[in-house]
Amino acid sequence: MYSNDGNSLMINMSPKARKPWKPLQISNEAAQALVEFAKTGKLKWPNTVAKNLRGWSAWDWTKGGEEWTPSLEWKEALVKDVLYPHIPVGSRVLEIGPGAGRWTEYLIKRSSHLTCVDLTPECIRACQERFGELKTVEFVLNDGRDLSFVPPLSIDRVWSFDVFVHIQSSDVENYIRQLSTILVKGGSGVIHHSKFGAQKWGWRSDMTAQKMVQYCDRYGLTIVKQLESWGDGRFQINPNMPKGNVDTITIFEKH
């Protein structure tokens, strides 16, 4: 027996299979994955919070996340052409998923106050060790969804790179909903996420460029642009992909 409340699927296991009688709750993405499995025999489990937490807790963070940087020029150009222009000096900034602080060190230079939130305790520890002495930065461990510790209308800029590519779309929507209340009027966000949904490589989630447009629209945020290259086209977001870019960066504003 099952029921669906729109967000998740409740499966009531038979009393013989599971005692005491207790519903098993799985997300709609998980239910979808099981339907696909039944049809095709291929199981692509969604990028749940639990799976992210397991994966990133087991990650070796000693390289500081620089293993994902294609080249120093690529990174410097991203900072110069995307991060700096969209994060003016003196901004109150929220970074989602700092990892070991690959972008945090640049955000610190631009912000009057920086809040970094991550669901992986190891990442929060690594960032605290690296930047913890600075008075203008705080590191918060969350459950992979909740931003209620950030007061409404208290953030000028949001930055997240290499994070939302791994987060399932229902959780992305939940973050976007909260960002729309946290951002001040005139505030904006720069979020890197997958463009076409799940891929064979790179553990991309079901997120797409189109879904991001829908979520921003739903929560009163205006899309400024979606970009996949910078440095006058010299640097691509996924330079090592045989079939080209599979991610995009959405820049949105709150009016």
Ligand X SMILES: C[S@@+](CC[C@H](N)C(=O)[O-])C[C@H]1O[C@@H](n2cnc3c(N)ncnc32)[C@H](O)[C@@H]1O
Chain residues binding ligand X by CB under 6 A are 49, 52, 56, 65, 68, 96-99, 102-103, 117-120, 123, 144, 161-163, 166-167, 171
Smallest separation, CB 162 to ligand X (Å) = 4
Residue carrying the six token digits 């779309």: 169
Q: What b-and-e string marks burial along 80-94, b requiring 16 or more CB atoms within 10 Å of the CB?
A: ebbbeebbeeebbbb
Nearest to ligand X of 11, 128 (CB atom): 128
Q: Which is nearer to ligand X, 143 or 232 (CB)?
A: 143
Phi, psi (deg, nearest 5) at residue 82: -120, -55
Looking at the Cβ atoms of 171 and 206, the one nearer to ligand X is 171
| Least CB distance to ligand X at residue 44 (A) | 18
Cβ pair 253, 188 in contact under 8 A: yes
Smallest separation (angstroms) from ligand X to the CB of 99: 2
* Closest-CA residue to 92 (of 115, 72, 60, 76): 115
Burial class (CB in 10 A: 0-12, 13-18, 19+), 140: middle
Beta carbon nearer to ligand X, 2 or 45: 45
Minimum CB–partner distance for residue 158 and ligand X (Å) = 12
What minimum distance in Å lies between the beta carbon of 83 and ligand X? 12
Helices (H), the chain: 28-40, 49-58, 72-78, 84-86, 104-110, 121-131, 169-182, 209-218
Whether 81 contacts 107, CB under 8 Å = no
Q: Minimum distance between the CB of residue 213 and ligand X, rounded to whole angstroms?
A: 21
* Gap between the Cα atoms of 249 and 78, Å rounded: 11
Q: Which residues pair with 226 in a beta bridge?
A: 250
For ligand X, the nearest residue by Cβ is 99
